[in-house]
Amino acid sequence: MILMLRKKRRDRASFGANAFFIGLFLTLLWLVTPIQPSGATPLKQPANGVTKEKGATHPPIESLDTLEQIIYRIRRGDTLAKILKPYGLSGEERELWFRSIRKHYSLRRLRTGKEIYLYFTKNGSNGAGESNGRHLKALELELGDDRVLTWKRENQGIVFRRRERPYETEVKAVAGTITDSLYESGVRLGIHLAVISQFVDIFAWDVNFHTDVGPGDSFKVLYKKRYLKGSNKNETFRILAAALINRGKKRFAFYIEKENGTGNYYDLEGRSLARTFLRYPVEFSRISSTFSHVRIHPILKTKRPHRGVDFAARAGTPVRAVADGRITYAGWKRGGYGKFIEIQHGSVFRTYYAHLRGFARGVRRGTRIKKGQVIGYVGCTGRCTGSHLHFELYKNGKYTNPLKMMLPVRERIEPALQNIFENAKQLFLTELADSHPY
């Protein structure tokens, strides 16, 4: 069973240690109605729908919505003259546009794959070039996924503006009961894979999702989605609070962000759920082979130790560094490893990532890496039978089973955030008390 409540609100928030954080967090939690049995009625949606995020101070250029829009995706070798040629602008008019654009942007920098938006009107009489009764009224150039340069023909001439596309946000509550696995149940309920992966990362050091979570367990997640309207390129997700009922035991997580912008998840007692290491080097996926001192090698057909864990994943799946460290090797590795990365984490730990399809940009020997940073992509290079990541962990030079390693809790909630944490925790627990399926 699932109930999604979409509350589209201004994303001006930082969960810092200040009164504004309290107000926003309490608002988000109160707006989410309890999960109810089938037939429940969600709260009425806000009349104004999705709102802009703080920082998007430049609204869309007025009146462009009333014009005919043509979108052109830039191809290799394109010039602005070539792009505008089909629209019948006179030589004088084209030169006016070129001169205005060159003041703010080099026409030699047109980037392949980016888009140009041309706006035409049929009833203009401003002297613009004409084709089939149309006049060029405005031109927009996509500078980035969230930035646009705009030139608009007005009475005083062509006016230039630089603006940001406003990010929009949604806050959603999702709840469900697991019928097979968390991954399959979540996908069936329409939960984005990024949210499922965050959920696993949050609780991964307390629960083994591959062996201990299954049918009958349940969960609830409150999360925020941030995106650009009309595009899914820059979608990001952040779980604000979560609960997992596993074999009758309840576990909770609450996200608290500090004034410096860094955040963390804490349990009921205010203990951090984070560790210095991630539990998994790829976002939640199936383990196809575990750590073993003796197994039959799938290719060599001989008994050999398997001193690592294999994560089955599609080719191209991002591979993450499990902790901060320095790359000591990145290249082809003999012995069946294929494309391979080795990272040294301080003086105690070292990790291997094998059978990669390729490396992330900037990954080379000596590169400093942060926990969670993408370092490569799943493949099937070297000695392997299918696409997967082979991951090994060493502690003081000795092989260690990554799935059995335990690390101490890193920190507790700071005293300055204690009151904020307690208020947020109580409100969320109140929501859960009346919710289904708990």
Kindly report, residue by residue over 256-266, the tens digit of the pLDDT.
887 777 888 99
The mean pLDDT value of the chain amounts to 77
pLDDT for residue 333 is more than 90: yes
Alpha helices by DSSP H, 63-116: 80-84, 91-102
Do 395 and 413 sit in the same domain of this protein? no
Section 29-49 average pLDDT: 32
Structure tokens of 252?
């909770």
Does residue 231 share a domain with residue 171? yes
Assess if residue 281 is contained within a domain: no
pLDDT value at 84 more than 60: yes
Q: Is the pLDDT of residue 237 over 70?
A: yes
Looking at residue 52, the DSSP 8-state letter turns out to be B
Read off the DSSP letter of residue 412.
B
> pLDDT value at position 380?
94
- Please tell me the distance from the alpha carbon of residue 148 to that of residue 228, in angstroms, as a whole number: 13
Rounded mean pLDDT, 152-181 = 86
Tell me if 343 is assigned to some domain: yes
Whether the CB-CB separation of 313 and 357 falls below 8 Å is answered with: no
Is there a domain that residue 331 lies in?
A: yes
The DSSP call for residue 18 is S
Q: What is the mean pLDDT of residues 161-175?
A: 83
State which of 158, 190, 219 marks the end of a domain. Answer: 158
Lowest mean pLDDT among 22-31, 112-121, 427-436: 22-31
DSSP string of 228-293, one letter each residue: ETTEEEEEEEEEEEEEEEETTEEEEEEEEE-TTS-EEEE-TTSBB---SS-S-SSSS-EEEE--EE
| pLDDT value at residue 436 | 62
In single-letter form, the type of residue at position 153 comes to R
SS3 382: coil
CATH number for position 125: 3.10.450.350
331: left (phi over 0), alpha (psi -120 to 50) or beta: left
Question: Distance between CA atoms of 183 and 198, rounded to whole angstroms?
Answer: 12
3-state secondary structure of 352: strand
pLDDT (average), residues 205-218: 88
Contact 358, 377 (CB under 8 A): yes
Edge-to-edge strands, sheet with 263-266: 167-177, 218-228, 231-246, 249-257, 263-266
CA 141 to each of CA 65, 115, 138, 144: distance values in angstroms, whole numbers, following the listed order: 16, 6, 10, 9
Please check whether residue 364 lies inside any domain of the structure: yes
Q: What is the pLDDT of residues 292-328, one digit of tens each?
A: 554 545 554 555 566 788 998 899 999 999 999 999 9
Domain check: are 223 and 361 in the same one?
no
Q: Residue 79's domain spans which residues?
A: 64-158
pLDDT at 166: 76
First to last CA, the chain: 11
Residue 3 has pLDDT above 80, yes or no: no
Would you tell me how many other CB atoms lie within 10 Å of the CB of residue 402? 19
Regarding whether 75 and 202 lie in a shared domain, the answer is no
How many CA atoms within 13 Å lie on the side-chain side of 58? Answer: 12
- For residue 64, the 8-state DSSP code is G
Q: How far apart are CA 165 and CA 311, in angstroms?
A: 38
- 271 and 296 housed in the same domain: no
How many Cβ atoms from other residues are within 10 Å of residue 414's Cβ?
14
Question: Are residues 178 and 129 part of one domain?
Answer: no
Describe the chain by its helix, strand, coil percentages, rounded to 5.
Answer: 15, 40, 45
- 50 and 68 in one domain? no
Confidence of residue 404 (pLDDT cuts 50, 70, 90): confident
| pLDDT tens column, 96-152 | 898 898 888 887 778 888 888 899 876 544 444 444 456 888 998 887 767 788 999
CA distance 250 to 252: 7
Tell me the C-alpha distance between 116 and 140, whole Å: 6
Residue-level pLDDT at 16: 39
- Chain-centroid distance, C-alpha 286: 20
- Give the Cα separation of 53 and 422 in Å (integer): 27
Residue % of the chain over a pLDDT of 90: 29
- Which of 158, 180, 208 is the last residue in one of the domains? 158
Asked if the structure places residue 82 within a domain, the reply is yes
Position 410 scores a pLDDT of 66
Least confident of 134-138, 163-167, 177-181, 263-267: 163-167
In the chain, the number of structural domains is 3
At 185 the three-state DSSP class reads: helix
Q: Choose between 429 and 152: higher pLDDT.
A: 152
Helix axes 19-31, 418-433, angle to 10 degrees: 10
- Indicate if the pLDDT at residue 383 is higher than 70: yes
Question: Residue 407 is which amino acid?
Answer: L
Tell me if 26 is assigned to some domain.
Answer: yes
- Alpha-carbon span 353 to 75, nearest angstrom: 37
Q: Are residues 319 and 388 in the same domain?
A: yes
Q: Are residues 68 and 24 in the same domain?
A: no
pLDDT for the residue 43: 26
Residue 432 is predicted with a pLDDT of: 62
Same domain, 373 and 229: no
Contact assessment for residue 258 and residue 17, using Cβ atoms and an 8 Å cutoff: yes
Cα–Cα distance, 60 to 280 (Å, whole number): 42
Model pLDDT, residue 56: 35
The lowest-confidence range among 122-136, 275-289, 307-321, 387-401 is 122-136
Instruction: Calculate mean pLDDT across residues 277-282.
Output: 92
Q: By CB neighbour count within 10 A (0-12 exposed, 13-18 middle, 19+ buried), where does 389 fall? A: buried
Whether residues 389 and 304 share a domain: the answer is yes
Q: Provide the percentage of residues in the chain whose pLDDT is more than 70.
A: 74
Please state, in angstroms and rounded to a whole number, the distance separating the CA atoms of residues 107 and 84: 13
